[in-house]
Structure 1
Amino acid sequence: MSTSHEPALPSAPADPLLSDVLRTAASVLAAAGDPTPEVDAELLAAHVSRRSRGELAAISLRGGAFEGDLDEFESLIERRAAREPLQHLTGLAPFRHLELRVGPGVFVPRPETEMVAQLAIDALRATAEPAPIAVDLGTGSGALALAMATEVPNARVHAAENAVPAFLWAKENFAALAPAARLAFIDLASAFPDLDGRVDVLVSNPPYVPDAAIPRDPEVRFWDPPSALYGGEDGLDVVRILSDVGLRLLRPGGLIVIEHGEWQGAAIRELFTAAGWRAAATHPDLTSRDRATTALRP
């Protein structure tokens, strides 16, 4: 009796190893000039697979396969290689202990701004008021205002934004993270007249790039909204407005905190002093670059 053999079916292709996928993606990003190719590849893989970076590292170490939609991942890598901001691809930007929703039309908060938030938070905590008042002008995604609202829960936080796309992102973040905080769509120069002379801390990350300067990073040059970047011929047009508004809003002894470029500290101290502010001082960030200047309302 003869025995017949069925022809063997072709085996399904094995899922690619996570380590191989990450290595290939990182090489693509490195070739495109991404300053952190390995990190960005891991973060995008974590986003697609709905896992943390720690979980991905464990899977990679044990030789596990890539999880998630490989086509989606490769599409995101192509967009990142074109220098679309990572935060636009994931829809989230970390800031201190927060995750903020961001995308086209709003300035992506940077790690260096976290020390600006710390200056404002420390000042709020140091006040004798049981419910200190804080104002964030030009709030963008809401980063500074929401850091104050969530880390100083007894503070009454007010924020203003005058660009529609940014305001819409801020509205979403305020609703999710601090619905009791006040967000207003209003011109910064006329913001919150009901708070005149009552504010303890005024903080802002204004546009401060001189109009003729061209930001080096494509993520900034092509994706951040120009209204959040450029501040006139010397970059200080909005700072001058904030100085005037601060003198109106802050109580005597109240603190103004302004983020700026590393080369602008001396000019802003001079501007504040000429306007009558006291004790103007410039503060470095964690990389020892001048990042913020503070002054006290006379």
Structure 2
Amino acid sequence: MTDAARRLAEAGVESPRVDAELLLAHVLGVPRTRLLTLDRVPGDAATRFADLLDQRAGRVPLQHLTGRAPFRHLELAVGPGVFVPRPETELLVEWALARLAGLPEPVVVDLGAGSGAIALSLAHEHPGARVTAVERDPGAVEWTRHNAAARRQAGDTPVEVLAGDMTDPRLLAGLDGAVDLVVSNPPYVPDGARVPREVADHDPPLALWGGPDGLDVVRGLLRTAARLLRPGGHLGVEHADQQGSALPVLVRGHGGFTGVADHPDLAGRPRFTTARRAGG
């Protein structure tokens, strides 16, 4: 395991030992903690492990190799064509759940749902919620549907999955003024920004790039959110580290929101902006 971790470290992987252990646990079909009592690795498993190690050293995302991504209390299927959910986004879900507390049947819209991490977590942890997940990318929406079907089979409240553009002025017109919460992890990376190879080579472009300042899609998102939200309804939008001032300014400048605030992630970096729809 030491040699495997060293190889990944030399390839620039940020968490080489953890990744090596997770890959081996995946190959063996055991929890990572079981590796502590492992005496030997069967030959066929060793061959498979070596192949996955090669791919991880080539900066294929760990989650693409295992086919799974943990997110809060869920484990989601992921792979080529869908954005891999990040732990930082869990804080946006935590904030959202606090806004939904006390509402027995809130109406929720997740714009740019990807794997469905946010939408499915909200439905799982607030079973009365009526959640709609919107995804534009034709490849990514298939992952949204797959994960939504899996959670429905597991007994969670069904999530409606809709193929659509979050900036479309006609999107979900039937919910105008009726939504309690709009959440989004939209494309916010400025065009031309340097990102890790795992991101640049494997995350879908529609989930990443947001124009010269990274906020082009968010501008359209704000128009949609303002239309959908009831007075007093809540908005939460994730953003890049460098947008902790720019996004709140953009939201305030829209004119349709009050109580605009920005929130840090666990590392203290600016992570998401929240607001309330004016009038409530």
TM-score bracket for the superposition, by shorter chain length: over 0.9
The C-alpha deviation readout for 1:93-138, integer Å capped at 9, x for no partner, is 1111111100011100001111011111111114xx3201110000
- Counterpart CA distance in 1 for 2:64 and 2:205 is 17
Aligned with residue 161 of structure 2, among 183, 189, 192: 183
- Structure-1 residue corresponding to 2:183: 203
Confirm or deny: 8 A CA contact 1:160 1:191 kept in the other structure.
Answer: no
Match of 2:239 in 1: 260
Looking at structure 1, the residues matched to 222 and 207 of structure 2 have their Cα atoms a distance apart, in angstroms, of: 18
Paired residue total: 270
Aligned twin of 2:41: 66
Q: Which residue of 2 aligns with 1:275?
A: 254
Give structure 1 regions of 4+ aligned residues with deviation exceeding 6 angstroms: none
- Give TM-score, length-normalised by structure 1: 0.88
Q: Deviations over 1:118-159 (max 9, x none)?
A: 111111114xx3201110000000000011000000111111
**Aligned CA-pair RMSD:** 1.1
Q: 1:69 to 1:201 in 2, by over 3 A?
A: same
Q: Which stretch has the larger CA shift, 33-42 or 197-206?
A: 33-42
The two structures have a TM-score, normalised by structure 2, of 0.94
Distance (whole Å) between structure 2 residues aligned to residue 153 and residue 206 of structure 1: 24
Equivalence map 1:1-298=2 (5 Å): 22-59=1-38, 64-67=39-42, 69-126=45-102, 129-178=103-152, 180-188=158-166, 189=168, 190-215=170-195, 217-276=196-255, 277-298=257-278
Residue identity over aligned pairs, in percent, reads 50
Partner Cα distance (1:155, 1:48) in 2: 37
Check the 8 A contact 1:210/1:232 in 2, yes or no: yes
Kindly name which structure, 1 or 2, has the bigger radius of gyration based on alpha carbons.
1
Q: Deviations over 1:187-238 (max 9, x none)?
A: 22232111111110100000101112121x1111111111111101110011
Q: Secondary structure at the match of 1:69?
A: helix
Instruction: Report the residue type matching 1:66 in the other structure.
Output: V
2:59 is paired with a residue of what secondary structure? coil
SS at match of 2:245: helix
Structure 1: tracts of 5 or more residues without a match: 1-21
Supply the AA of the counterpart residue of 1:272.
Answer: V
Partner Cα distance (1:24, 1:265) in 2: 40
Q: Distance in 2 between matches of 1:36 and 1:268?
A: 31
SS at match of 2:266: coil
- What is the alpha-carbon distance in structure 1 between the residues aligned to residue 245 and residue 2 of structure 2? 45
